């Protein structure tokens, strides 16, 4: 089981690494303003995905009929249908998106991006079905191979276009190769069917995820839209790069944890005690990986910014740790979310994200009044804290999962994030003392590691015993 976990983590890490390399390479080659425009294409893609996301990929894992070829064909048919609808929506919204962001001359690019949901609609679901059997290589390769090839494609695209269009065509190329790879990795032939009964089941399963998709759009892309509209494309480039550097490791953690733990928690033959133990382990594993990520950003983030991006993105060096802390607090919800999804409670994440977007008007107001990115990040941090509280409350109330068993890990991990924030902010209070920064970094790192060790008893016991075989009996 440990080998499978390592495979998932390394596969998702490799995919995110190459996507990050692609974005860094583009940022180095084109101007800051062009990179800001390119960042809006991700916003446009998110709008379309948000408008049609029903969690069909998760349903084929969670549903009792997920191995049935007819059920799979019906899901693939529904996926194609939503892709066609999303493509039409994207094309019709292109002019509005460009006008809202103040770049009407780029409307043609948003129209062209309508091909992305159409391509996504042709994805083969066998790569997700095989997860039920704990076979993850097809899914991992479907992410990794397109990521590698999209890096290779950047240089010729730059020689051909030399501006924001590099980002546009790199995104389309990545999606096209990803869909093609899903068919190459599949075991079953690709079939589609349109089954009203399955569509009704999918809508019942997925409507909370659809609403949550809208909320996630506001969480991930809403701040970008505010920054792009109110502060301009160059400031958006700084903000988007900060999101990219912090979000890439965050997605590795969240995707790996859900890929690994959701099939185990969804098994029908485990007892309540086994489910509870696996749930605790899922929560603690996510917390441990998240704290390692935040600590790495605190210690290495500024140096990475200067080394990889140069002076054009110098402002980001002092902000990156705050991007990481915001994402860290968001990832804390992944454990509770995975437990809830395994039980079929897909609304929990939706309700938590409603709490998150309550701070959205405040973020817009302060963007207009101050233009200070640090204030926007502070507001985002408050929103993530509210969302985490709601997620834990719903885990206890709706899922009947004893939150008291994960209270200590959660409190300890939040305390570690506080230490990371102090680690980032205190050196600025004593800029005349050269040793202050390194000394505080060392002390902070030791404190965070100590908190992590103490706060995660289940994971600690598992690692110390070095048990072989299944992670939880």
CA dist., res. 218 & res. 266, Å (int): 29
pLDDT of residue 363: 83
Measure the CA angle with vertex 13, ends 141 and 357; round to 5°. 110
DSSP letter assigned to residue 190: P
pLDDT of residue 435: 43
pLDDT of residue 392: 93
pLDDT of residue 425: 61
pLDDT of residue 174: 93
Query: pLDDT (tens digit, 9 = 90+) per residue, 367-417?
Result: 888 878 888 888 989 999 999 999 999 999 888 888 898 899 999 989 988
Taking residues 27-50, report their average pLDDT.
80
Output the average pLDDT for the chain: 82
Nearest to 145, CA basis, from 119, 182, 117, 113? 182
Query: pLDDT (tens digit, 9 = 90+) per residue, 242-282?
Result: 888 888 888 888 888 888 888 888 776 778 888 888 899 99
Q: Within 13 A of 201's CA, how many CA atoms are on the CB side?
A: 19
- pLDDT for 139 beyond 80: yes
Taking residues 149-170, report their average pLDDT.
93
- pLDDT for 74 beyond 50: yes
Q: Return the SS3 of 124.
A: coil
Taking residues 121-143, report their average pLDDT.
84
How sure is the predictor about 432, in pLDDT bands with cuts at 50, 70 and 90?
very low
- Map tokens 């996507």 to a residue: 19
Q: What is the domain partition of the chain in residue ranges?
A: 1-213, 267-473
Residues 6+ apart with CB under 8 A from 54: 78, 82, 202, 203, 205, 206, 207, 209, 210
How sure is the predictor about 102, in pLDDT bands with cuts at 50, 70 and 90?
confident
pLDDT of residue 459: 82
How far is the CA of 299 from the CAs of 244, 432, 454, in angstroms? 18, 20, 21
């Amino acid at each position: 089981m440990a080998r499978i976990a390592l495979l998932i983590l390394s596969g998702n890490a490799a995919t995110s690494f190459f996507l990050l390399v692609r974005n860094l390479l583009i940022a180095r080659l084109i101007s800051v303003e062009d990179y800001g425009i390119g960042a809006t294409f991700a916003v446009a893609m998110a709008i379309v995905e948000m408008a049609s996301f029903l969690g069909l990929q998760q349903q084929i894992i969670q549903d009792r009929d997920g191995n049935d070829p007819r059920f799979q064909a019906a899901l693939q048919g529904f996926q194609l249908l939503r892709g066609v609808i999303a493509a039409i929506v994207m094309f019709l919204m292109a002019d509005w998106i460009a006008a809202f962001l103040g770049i009407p001359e780029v409307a043609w690019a948003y129209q062209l991006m309508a091909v992305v949901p159409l391509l996504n609609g042709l994805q083969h679901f066998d790569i997700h079905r095989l997860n039920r059997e704990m076979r993850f290589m097809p899914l991992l390769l479907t992410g990794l191979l397109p990521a590698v090839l999209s890096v290779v494609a950047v240089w010729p695209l730059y020689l051909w276009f030399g501006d924001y269009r590099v980002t546009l065509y790199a995104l389309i190329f990545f999606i096209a190769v990803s869909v093609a790879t899903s068919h190459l990795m599949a075991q079953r032939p690709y079939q589609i069917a349109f089954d009203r009964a399955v569509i009704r089941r999918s809508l019942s399963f997925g409507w909370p995820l659809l609403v949550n998709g809208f909320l996630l759009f506001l969480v991930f892309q809403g701040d970008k839209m505010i920054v792009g509209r109110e502060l301009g494309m160059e400031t958006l480039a700084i903000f988007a790069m900060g999101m990219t550097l912090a979000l890439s490791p965050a997605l590795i953690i969240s995707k790996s944890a859900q890929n690994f733990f959701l099939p185990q928690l969804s098994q029908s033959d485990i007892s309540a005690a086994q489910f509870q133990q696996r749930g605790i382990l899922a929560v603690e594993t996510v917390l441990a990986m998240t704290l390692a990520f935040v600590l790495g950003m605190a210690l290495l983030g500024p140096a990475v910014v200067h080394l990889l991006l140069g002076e054009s993105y110098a402002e980001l060096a002092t902000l990156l740790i705050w991007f990481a802390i915001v994402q860290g607090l968001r990832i804390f919800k992944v454990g509770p979310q995975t437990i809830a999804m395994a039980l079929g409670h897909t609304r929990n994440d939706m309700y938590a994200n409603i709490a998150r977007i309550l701070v959205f008007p405040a973020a817009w107001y302060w963007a207009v009044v101050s233009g200070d990115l640090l204030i926007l990040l502070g507001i985002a941090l408050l929103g993530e804290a509210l969302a985490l509280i709601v997620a834990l409350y719903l885990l206890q109330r709706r899922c009947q999962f004893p939150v008291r068993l994960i209270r200590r890990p959660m409190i300890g991990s939040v305390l570690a994030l506080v230490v990371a924030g102090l680690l980032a902010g205190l050196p600025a209070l004593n800029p005349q003392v050269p040793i202050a920064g390194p000394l505080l970094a060392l002390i902070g790192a030791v404190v965070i590691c100590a908190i992590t060790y103490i706060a995660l008893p289940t994971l600690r016991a598992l690692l110390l015993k070095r048990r072989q075989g299944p992670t939880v009996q």
